[in-house]
Structure 1
Amino acid sequence: MDAQSYNATLAELRAVRDEIKKARKELTRLEADRDQKIGRLAAYAKAKAERIAPAAGLSVADIVDLVPALAPDSLAENATPAAPPTQTTIAAPGHAVPEPTGQPTAAAPSTCTAEPLQTTASSTPAAAPAATDAPRALPSVPEGDTGDAWFTHSQGLVSTRPNFTQQARSTVFLDTATGILVHRQQTHHLDLGNATAADILTAVFHAIPEGVERIYVTAGDPWHRDADRYPYLRDAVAAWLNAPIPGWRTDTGRGRDQMAGHFVHARNPVGRFQRDSGEQHVEIRSVGEWFDTDGDDPAVIRDAFVLLWQALRRHWGDAVIMGSPSQTGRDLWTRTIPTRGQYAEGFPVLSEELRGLLHATAGQGRNELLTPPRVSAQLPQLVEYDRTFAYAKHTWKSPVGTPRRITAATFASWSEKEQMRALYGCGHWQIRVTVPDTWNHVGLLPAPAPGDRAWHYPATPGTTFTTWAGGPEIHTALTNPLTPWKIEILDGILWEDGKPLDDWAKKLKETWTNLSAQAHFQGDAQQARAAHLASRAVRAILLYGIGSFAQRPRMVTGTTPRTLERDIPPDAEIIGFDDEQITWQKPTGFSRDPNAHPEWAAAIWSGARAALLTQRHRDDNVHAGALHTEPGSVVAFRTDALYLTQPQAWPHHHQPGDYLLKGHLTGPVAAPTTEGELLGLRDAGRAALTPSAGEA
């Protein structure tokens, strides 16, 4: 083949590709229409998956995946996993180890980012997935030298203190519903037309000829304007971001800033654009990344960011507010890396294998809804308690150093004192768990549920399951105030105890305390509101900063003119096109990120989940948490909040981790059966409660 034939065949291949894309687009539309019709059929009281499946051309399992409520009873059966490896059974000091009485239930794998709310419908054993879906187990560390090789660090990948000053970006605040734009001390009224990205950029750069680099949308959610035209909200957002803009194209990054391409998110997307000439770069972002607004004027939100920057500067002389809380949090943390001592050269990053294992086995916040008959169908009342600045309570100790593998045999060879010391330390353990025969309260340990990102918390007496968990949760299961659970150690990862996040978290906690005090004592209502929003932004910096250490893989999207097709990144997937542009997406992996530390995020999340169950207030000598309530009184867990049927006399001293009364809805209240119903009751309860002096 000569060069001419080669180029001609490439052109033919592109034409075939375009036809395939068109066919797939039409197929996607038809599948979305089919799924919507299935959803409507499911609303019929006598709907059966067995009748819907052949009409839809799907299997019964496919129908159940779309509408779990249609699961036929005949397909639910327990599964028994393969025989476990060597294990060691441990119990709380002074307690005998109970014998298991229930059959082990299969555990499905899960890679968790932000878990959906799980529903526990009854106290009977949960049904396994449909028989057509083979159960899978969470990943394990391979045996022998292969697994041992995981316990190291990635060569040449270290978190180090930056040797440059972060540059601030010119920022404006825009309400796209009213057209009000605030830039420094000036207010402009813009005509945004249809509020497309093109309309916004044209209007903003006309009002501010010198240009801006970041546009925070404070209200209006312009990316949702055409949501009715798309089956999913994310599709509407992607279409808004990728619509052609004369004179602009998707940003490809610059200098030290490696952020390029759009970030498609249903609620808080990020559009990154640059002039065709390459001279100007600008982001369009949602201020919802930082805090929830309640119709606040853009000037108040501008003041909040000014107060935030001033407060951070008291602790970091070179602090700069970056585009998102996670970017800001991670940047501020790198500026607390010690300049002397053991880690003056930085904190090494774990091997890619161990990071992958932690991604798959270390979940985030606990999100669980308990429905009748686990709770009464009519609740006497619904009370919401939210842990104030919760994650800040769990940053004082984190894993450092080269991890050690602790096999079941090694753990068994230790004394009871050595075993408990290891479990109190910074570790991540593969365990087999058995719920006590007499248990009558909520579940204590996360287990993988059907679904790629789902976790549940088995509580049925006698249930046995295999999972991974952190030391705080295992300690809680062994020493809880009711009955110790049986824990069998199958494998483990153990680090030295260190304080890599302590200085960073202390500075953020002091900043939060200062801004919260300003919000409370400020006489000017606008400045008080701005200080309150700034304190919420500090919370977001810590919360999402911790999440950024997990470094879960993400996808970014971008557009390229058809005439510049060769500029499409080589690892990108083409997801759409028209006569002018090609839309693509590409993964942003974590394998070479110098600040990837999922072990830190996993340890904090484990501590926070454990504190939802029990925590001690030393000064008051009082315990708080779900296990200190009556059985059957816990309605839901939601990240760092508890929903109960009874009020509690738990102390609140405005300190991180304290339980703050956020909502109280008097009954009788119909027990929520969906996340939407719970959130509706939450909002009603907050509105009904007299405003409290505390702040979460």
Structure 2
Amino acid sequence: MDAQSYTTALAELRAVRDDIKKAQTALARLEAQRDKQIALLAGYDKAKAERIAPAAGLSLAEIVVLAPALAPDNLAADQPATPAPAQGTTAAHDSPGDDPYPPAAQAPTAMPPTPSAPVQEASSASPLPAEAPSLPAQQQAGAPADPGAPRTLPSIPQSEAGQGWFTHTANLVSKRPNFTQQARPTVFLDTDTGLLVHRNQTHRLDLGAGTAAEILTAVFHTIPEGVERIYITAGDPWHRDADRYPYLRDAVTAWLNAPTPGWRTDTGRGKDRMAGHFAHPRHPVARYQREDADQHVEIRSVGEWFDVDGDDPATVRDAFVLLWQALRRHWSDAVVMGSPSQTGRDLWTRTIPARGQHAEGYPVLSEELRGLLHATAGQGRTELITPPQVPDQLPQLVEYDRTFAYAKHTWKSPVGTPCRVTSHTFASWSEKEQTKALFGCGHWQVRVTVPDAWQHVGILPAPAPGERAWHYPHTPGTTFTTWAGGPEIHTALSNPIQPWKVEILDGILWEDGKPLDDWAKKLKETWTNLTAQAHFQGDAQQARAAHLASRAVRAILLYGIGSFAQRPRMVTGTTPRTLERDIPADAEIIGFDDERITWQRPTGFSRDPNAHPEWAAAIWSGARAALLTQRHRDDNTYAGALYTEPGSVVAFRTDAVYLTSVQNWPYHHQPGDYLLKGHLAGPLAAPGSEEDLLALRDAGRTALAASHKEA
């Protein structure tokens, strides 16, 4: 073979690779659809693995892995029997050596970033820990995981190495800032109509095809003194060529990386050092810097803050003005930054005490504990319950949404150096000490058994097949091992129906503190004031602006809490096809076109001084528990899914629960209250997918709004 033949063969090999990538993507989509269908069939009480296996083209063993409840009786009979402890007790697991869920190995050291040739990078949150004590040994060694196999959550090593996790990262502390955040000149642009609002002026621009280069040219021609932030209020220009790409993210990446004469990708500056593009499929961030001047600008979606429903750029501008004015009543140096998460975290740092306890700041946990929390502390509960757990025909669908829900759970958070509570230690405590610990700020590894007579929804999250998937076992007699926060474990032990069996295997316990209380109270007051302004404002446009501003406050708190979780970073980059050899060796190719290859690679945890996943985990746990049971002290009553009839819960979606009946739950416009948000009369076919549920949800909200207008 000569050099020319070698080059030709390489080109042919790349074409085969591209075809394989497309085929693998299509196959993965079909397999996910098949597995979803199997899970649906497994919910039928007379389902048999022997009938489903040939229909799915899988072996009996593969069906059982996907749906353990379908295991044949003779297979279950071969398992050794273990006596079931009395229900409703909190027992300790005293024999780590007998644990069928052995602790995972210590987390491997994160790889340092690999420099690459002409690459534009975007930092984003990874769905998987880049360095996680959660991965089994074969996955740490690089072996592919079985996507259908249930995940095993990590444990804390039993050796002294595990005790070494219970510390803080050296020289990494959340401190009150000693500088004033600078506001950035901002414009609001509708790329559908070309309307641009700058301060009190409105302009109409010719944006051509809506590329980043055309937007920058038009804006800076109209505003010669320059701006630093361009909010896109409508139009989503990064989706203009979506039909040409298999995935929305590929279209966004192509738009971000298209040529911008006179500009290059921003490399960051100052204390708010944000560099590179952020390739989110719906809310990307494009960051540019002039090649011949120290001028920086970013193009962002206003959808990060709130949903715009036909609002013009002037109304959106007014919403941001009202937001800034309302925040200034509580923070004299408040600045609305680019995103809700940036703004929320900046405002929080300005509530860190200047004197007294915690004046020196809040230390950041060890990387190992942060990795453990990332792998074992899920966020909102998202679950669709299908027949036969609910009727095939629903009498109605009623949506209750918890207003400003996370603000209800910020009054207490973990602080200080955590301590480990082993099963032996927990068992040695008195009942009073155990109860106090479970009511405190803790994160617990537990073995759970669903009561034999249980007929309602699941209570505790368990790892499901998938990278970050969770489900909520509810089948009587089911036993599983998981991690959960104190609020959920307390709900399992003291729910209004029947106590669950919970065994403490291990735990992390902190002191109780209030690091978020002042921040959250100020945001709640801001939200209350803007909500009232939206309700009583006589001018329709200003009322709408106040409503949008109140939604922005909600986003500040919601995404601010999420930013504390500080997941491991995944760097996304593009490389020209002619420089394919420069792609980092540990990168995964996630897209390509005729000119560029898009890849991603994990870079582990950054040294973020405001990384506090223990706070986010505690709030998420409290919010999930409140979906099941929540006491209203002023009304001396309870609300939540466990106070409904069995079989009446259709779905959970983070802060909302969908039911087949109307509830008489109190609503006083306070954070955490259940608001009736949608009501659709039946009979209705039970939703079989998330798309079906969202369609019914939208119809229910429309129907409820129409009934209010008629009233």
Partner AA of 1:415 in structure 2: S
Q: Distance in 1 between matches of 2:175 and 2:147?
A: 49
Residue 425 of structure 2 is aligned to residue 410 of structure 1: yes
Contact 2:398 2:700 in 1 (8 A): yes
Aligned counterpart, 2:701: 686
Contact 2:147 2:465 in 1 (8 A): no
Query: Deviation per CA, 1:636-695, whole angstroms, max 9, x where unpaired?
Result: 0000001000001111101000000000001111111100000000000000113799xx
Aligned counterpart, 2:629: 614
Q: Distance in 2 between matches of 1:574 and 1:298?
A: 38
Shift of residue 558, structure 1, vs aligned partner: 5.0
**Matched residue SS, 2:155:** coil
Aligned counterpart, 1:271: 286
**Matched residue SS, 1:505:** helix
Change (3 A) 1:113 1:437: farther
Change (3 A) 1:76 1:352: farther
Q: Distance in 1 between matches of 2:7 and 2:276?
A: 23
**Matched residue SS, 1:599:** helix
Residue 331 of structure 2 is aligned to residue 338 of structure 1: no
Aligned counterpart, 2:677: 662
Shift of residue 28, structure 1, vs aligned partner: 2.3
Partner AA of 1:252 in structure 2: T
Alignment partner of 1:28 out of 21, 29, 32: 21
Residue 470 of structure 2 is aligned to residue 455 of structure 1: yes
Structure 2 matches for 1:372-383, cutoff 5 A?
372-383=387-398
Partner AA of 1:267 in structure 2: R
Residue 540 of structure 2 is aligned to residue 547 of structure 1: no
Alignment partner of 1:185 out of 178, 186, 200: 200
Deviates more, 1:292-301 or 1:186-195: 186-195
Deviates more, 1:561-570 or 1:231-240: 561-570
Shift of residue 17, structure 1, vs aligned partner: 10
Change (3 A) 1:479 1:547: same
Contact 2:187 2:197 in 1 (8 A): yes
Aligned counterpart, 2:122: none
Aligned counterpart, 1:306: 321
Contact 2:150 2:464 in 1 (8 A): no
**Matched residue SS, 1:496:** strand
Shift of residue 557, structure 1, vs aligned partner: 3.7
Contact 2:151 2:464 in 1 (8 A): no
Residue 643 of structure 2 is aligned to residue 625 of structure 1: no
After TM superposition, the score normalised by the length of structure 2 is 0.82
Query: Deviation per CA, 1:142-177, whole angstroms, max 9, x where unpaired?
Result: 002111111010111100011111111111111111
Shift of residue 88, structure 1, vs aligned partner: 10
Shift of residue 188, structure 1, vs aligned partner: 1.1
Contact 2:151 2:465 in 1 (8 A): no
Deviates more, 1:565-574 or 1:308-317: 565-574
Partner AA of 1:634 in structure 2: V
Residue 287 of structure 2 is aligned to residue 294 of structure 1: no
**Matched residue SS, 2:627:** helix
Change (3 A) 1:601 1:328: same
Aligned counterpart, 2:134: none
Change (3 A) 1:72 1:361: closer
Alignment partner of 1:251 out of 266, 270, 287: 266
Aligned counterpart, 1:368: 383
Q: CA RMSD in A?
A: 4.1
Aligned counterpart, 1:156: 171
Structure 2 matches for 1:285-684, cutoff 5 A?
285-558=300-573, 585=600, 587=602, 589-684=604-699
Query: Deviation per CA, 1:5-32, whole angstroms, max 9, x where unpaired?
Result: xxxxxxxx99999997666444323444
Shift of residue 553, structure 1, vs aligned partner: 2.2
Deviates more, 1:269-278 or 1:298-307: 269-278
Q: Distance in 1 between matches of 2:79 and 2:515?
A: 39
Residue 236 of structure 2 is aligned to residue 234 of structure 1: no
**Matched residue SS, 2:557:** helix
Contact 2:667 2:675 in 1 (8 A): yes
5+ long unaligned stretches in structure 2: 1-5, 39-50, 93-98, 108-124, 129-144
Partner AA of 2:380 in structure 1: G
Partner AA of 1:222 in structure 2: P
Q: Distance in 2 between matches of 1:222 and 1:88?
A: 60
**Matched residue SS, 2:477:** coil
Shift of residue 589, structure 1, vs aligned partner: 3.8
Aligned counterpart, 2:296: 281
Shift of residue 359, structure 1, vs aligned partner: 0.3
Partner AA of 2:20 in structure 1: L
Deviates more, 1:475-484 or 1:29-38: 29-38
Contact 2:147 2:466 in 1 (8 A): no
**Matched residue SS, 1:686:** helix
Shift of residue 81, structure 1, vs aligned partner: 14
Shift of residue 277, structure 1, vs aligned partner: 2.4
Q: Distance in 1 between matches of 2:348 and 2:342?
A: 10
Q: Distance in 1 between matches of 2:514 and 2:7?
A: 54
Partner AA of 1:662 in structure 2: K
Q: Distance in 1 between matches of 2:597 and 2:25?
A: 23
Partner AA of 2:461 in structure 1: P
Partner AA of 2:22 in structure 1: R
Change (3 A) 1:27 1:572: closer
Query: Deviation per CA, 1:538-585, whole angstroms, max 9, x where unpaired?
Result: 000000000000011233445689999999999988878899888665
Shift of residue 273, structure 1, vs aligned partner: 1.4
Change (3 A) 1:643 1:72: closer
Structure 2 matches for 1:9-158, cutoff 5 A?
24-32=17-25, 91=88, 134-158=149-173
Q: Calculate percent identity across the aligned residue pairs.
A: 74
**Matched residue SS, 1:322:** coil
Partner AA of 2:184 in structure 1: R
Aligned counterpart, 2:190: 175
Number of positions where the alignment pairs a residue of Structure 1 with one of Structure 2:
648
**Matched residue SS, 2:650:** strand
Contact 1:81 1:106 in 2 (8 A): no
Partner AA of 1:316 in structure 2: W
Change (3 A) 1:615 1:132: closer
